[in-house]
């Protein structure tokens, strides 16, 4: 059972609604659906909220350390609350999935994603869940960094929002960690 859901992104208005902030976008939709509010926490260098369902309560975490240092917040909070890696779900942007496609995965490497790389280093484990939120790949000649740090087209933004809302609708399955059920429904 998941006890902590982490959304990856970069803080600040210049990064809002960028592809790289798909994890933040997902968590914001989740918090809104549950009537949750965010509070800044200096100890964990993050924004934190709590989300409750009929049979569970989970913490929501948005690291405010920028993507490449996301592991600091995840590691500190996990150690403080004694949350095991297998009780963590990290929502992040995924270049290898088409825009609007989401997949749930258990463990694995970082596949070049610096936020995941830092989390793995800080918690010394790969044994956590990942909600991979598809943002597609850049067109030929456009760099990956420029692509992920830019805002999608109006249609692309709508597709990413719809994907995140669809995953919010499956939150009970996500929290149960039922990988096969989620991937069958996406």
Q: How far apart are CA 54 and CA 31, in angstroms?
A: 15
Question: Among residues 20, 29, 92, 113, which one is catalytic?
Answer: 20
Coil, strand or helix: which one is 50? strand
- Clarify whether 20 is annotated catalytic: yes
Helix (H) or strand (E) holding 158: helix 154-168
Check if the beta carbon of residue 110 is closer than 8 Å to that of residue 90. Answer: no
Sheet holding 129-134, edge to edge: 39-41, 46-52, 57-63, 4-7, 88-94, 129-134, 102-106
Check if the beta carbon of residue 174 is closer than 8 Å to that of residue 167. Answer: yes
∠ CA 169-24-156, rounded to 5°? 75
Which residue numbers are catalytic? 20
């Amino acid at each position: 059972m998941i006890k902590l859901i982490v959304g990856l992104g970069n803080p600040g208005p210049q990064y809002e609604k960028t592809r790289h902030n798909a994890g933040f976008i997902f968590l914001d939709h989740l918090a809104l659906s549950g009537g949750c509010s965010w509070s800044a926490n200096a100890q964990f260098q993050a924004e934190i909220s709590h989300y409750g369902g009929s049979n569970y309560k989970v913490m929501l975490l948005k690291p405010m350390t920028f993507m490449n240092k996301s592991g600091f917040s995840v590691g500190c909070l996990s150690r403080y609350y004694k949350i095991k890696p297998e009780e963590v779900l990290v929502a992040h942007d995924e270049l290898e999935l088409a825009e609007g496609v989401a997949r749930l995965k258990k463990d694995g490497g970082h596949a070049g994603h610096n936020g995941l790389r830092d989390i793995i280093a800080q918690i010394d484990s790969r044994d956590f869940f990942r909600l991979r939120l598809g943002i597609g790949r850049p067109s030929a000649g456009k760099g990956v960094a420029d692509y992920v740090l830019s805002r999608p087209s109006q249609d692309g933004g709508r597709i990413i929002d719809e994907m995140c809302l669809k995953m919010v609708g499956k939150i009970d399955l996500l929290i149960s960690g039922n990988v096969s059920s989620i991937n069958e429904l996406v």
